[in-house]
Amino acid sequence: MKVLVAEDDPLIALGLTERLRSLGHEPVGPAADGAEAIELARTTSPDLYLFDVEMPKVDGLDAAAQLASEGLRRPVVIVTGVEDAALVERSVAGGVNAFLTKPIDTRELQAAIALAAARHAELVRAEQALEDRKVVERAKGLLMSALGLSEQDAFRRLQLTARERNLRLADVAARIVDQQSLLTKR
């Protein structure tokens, strides 16, 4: 896994990159501050962010949030030297997937990376399921309006078409939504 490291302490940054290598990951960086981390993320497409919280220019939480807003959301492991309940709450609210307190040992780092990747994958699946549900609901509405079907009959028609064509229900629904002009009266 390609891991972007952002840590303003050069000694800790070196230690993190070496630990990542020992775990079989490909470290990117380290970036010395959040602004540099953002630029590196844009150019290197890492799989995971390992960010210190307190860094110059842009802190790790703000860097992760900015990257997410740009469509570069990845699993995030936050590293900090302080134990602060408010910081943990801010991290969770900001979409952080795992949290480590310095000093970090290799086993903790490995567990945090695995946890962050799993949580991120779960979130992505949930978001996709929601998007799929929205398109199915839209297609049902179109079928109900255009063909005078009940909600149950519209859903059955979607299911039958998906089964007959060996497609996902959401894919059939997306095709109906894309071709909705064929269903409307002129």
Per-residue tokens: 141: 């509405």
Dist. CA 166–CA 172, nearest whole Å: 10
Sheet strand arrangement including 76-80: 26-31, 2-6, 48-52, 76-80, 98-101
Cis peptide before 10 (omega within 30 of 0): no
What single letter denotes the amino acid at residue 87? L
Decide which of 124 and 185 is more confident: 124
Closest CA to 141 of 180, 87, 108, 109: 180
d(CA 90, CA 172): 40
- pLDDT tens sequence across 111-146: 999 999 998 888 889 989 999 999 999 999 999 988
Which pair of structure tokens corresponds to residue 67? 């990257």
How would residue 97 be classed by pLDDT, with cut points 50, 70 and 90? confident
Task: Please check the confidence at residue 178 and state whether its pLDDT lies above 60.
Answer: yes
Q: Is the dihedral of CA 105, 82, 86, 29 positive or negative?
A: negative
